[in-house]
Amino acid sequence: MTRRVLRLKQVQAQTGLSRSTIFALQQRGIFPRSIKIGPKATGWYEDEVQNYIETRPRGGGHRAGKRR
């Protein structure tokens, strides 16, 4: 089975999250880790992004900023 890789714009469109929120959630271990797909390119496995979307809390989501 071949896993499809999504680029940042595709991940943003599917999740509705901004670039900075994606990276902040990734740092905290909440969002899937990106993979290196070239010297200056990263991507995310589509199945991991879909799993995040299906399991994330509804109505408020995650706060990407600093923990209080």
Total of domains in the chain: 1
Q: 13-45 b/e with 16+ CB inside 10 Å = b? A: eebebeeebbebbeeeeebbebeeeeeeeebbb
Residue 12, in any domain of the structure? yes
Residue 64, in any domain of the structure? no
What's the pLDDT at 66? 55
Neighbours of 56 (CB within 10 A): 14
Domain enclosing residue 47, as ranges: 5-55
pLDDT digits (tens, 9 = 90+) for 25-57: 999 999 999 999 999 999 999 999 999 999 987
Q: What is each CA distance from 12 to 1, 7, 17, 52, in whole angstroms?
A: 25, 9, 5, 13
| More reliable by pLDDT, 59 or 58 | 58
pLDDT of 1 strictly over 80: no
Residue 14, in any domain of the structure? yes
Residue 60, in any domain of the structure? no
Residue 36, in any domain of the structure? yes
What's the pLDDT at 67? 53
